[in-house]
A and B are shown apart, each in its own frame.
Chain A
Amino acid sequence: MDVSFSAPQRQSPVGVLVLFFYTLQKNARAFWPLIVVYAFKFKELNILYLVTGIVLFLILIGVISYLKYRSFTFFLDAEKDEFIISDGILNKTKTAIQLDKIQQVNINQSFIQKLIGVYELHVDTAGSAKKEGHIKAISHEVALELKSRLLDQSALKISQDLDMNLNLADKEAAATEAPFVTIGLLSLLKLGITSNYGKTIGLIIIFGSTIYENFRKFSETDSAYQEQVNSYVDKGLASQSLVIGFAFVLAGVLVLNIARVIIQYYGYTITRQKNSMLLSYGLFNSKSTILKPEKVQITTIKRNFFQKKLGILELRIRQATSGTAEDRKSIIEIPGCSDLESSSVLQLLYDQIPEKGLSLKPNFRVLAVALLLFILLPVLLFYAIGAWVEPVAFDFAYLVPIYVIFIGLLQYFKFKNNRLFIHDNFIIKQSGGWDISTAIIEPHKIQAVTTSQYFWHKKLDLGSVILHTAGGTISFQMGNFSILKSKVNLWLYRMEKSDSNWM
Chain B
Amino acid sequence: MQNFSNEIIDTDLLPKYEEVIFTKLHPKYLFVVAIKVAILIITLITAPFIYLYFEPDGFSGKISFLLGLMSPFVFLFIVLFALLSFRKKGFAFREHDVLYRYGVLATNTIIIPYNRVQHVALHEGFIPGFFGLAEIEIFTAGGSSSDIQIPGIEKEQAENIKQLLMVKIQKQL
Contact = CB atoms under 8 A, between A and B. Distances in A.
Is A bound to B?
yes
A39 to B, nearest CB: 21
B141 A447 contact: yes
Interface string A362-395: 0000000000000000000000000000000000
A96 B144 contact: no
Interface stretch (B42-50, B51-59, B65-73, B109-117): B109-117
Interface in B133-147: 137, 139-147
Chain A: number of interface residues, binned into ranges: 35 or more
A125 B119 contact: yes
Contact of A489 (B16, B121, B162): B16
Interface stretch (B28-36, B75-83, B100-108): B100-108
Interface of A is mostly: mixed
Contacts of A450: 108-111, 146
Contacts of A453: 106-107
A503 interface: yes
A94 B143 contact: no
Interface string A439-457: 0000000111111111100
B17 A82 contact: no
A483 B11 CA distance: 10
Contact of B119 (A93, A101, A469, A496): A101
Q: Which of B111, B142, B169 has the most CB of A within 10 A?
A: B142
Contact of B141 (A90, A486, A487, A503): A503
A496 B123 contact: no
Interface of A: 80-82, 88, 90-98, 100-101, 125-128, 130-131, 320-322, 324, 446-455, 466, 468-470, 472-473, 485-490, 492-493, 495-496, 499, 502-503
Q: Which 5 A-B pairs have the closest CB atoms?
A: A468-B146, A468-B142, A447-B142, A496-B96, A126-B141
Interface of B: 9, 11-12, 14-18, 96-97, 103, 105-116, 118-126, 129, 137, 139-148, 162, 166, 169-170, 172-173
22 contacts: A81-B170, A95-B119, A96-B162, A101-B118, A126-B118, A127-B139, A127-B143, A128-B147, A321-B143, A322-B141, A447-B142, A448-B113, A448-B146, A449-B111, A451-B17, A452-B108, A454-B106, A455-B105, A468-B145, A493-B9, A493-B15, A495-B115
Given A450-B146, A502-B141, 15 more contacts: A96-B121, A100-B173, A127-B118, A127-B147, A128-B139, A131-B139, A320-B141, A448-B111, A452-B106, A454-B105, A468-B145, A468-B146, A492-B96, A493-B9, A496-B115
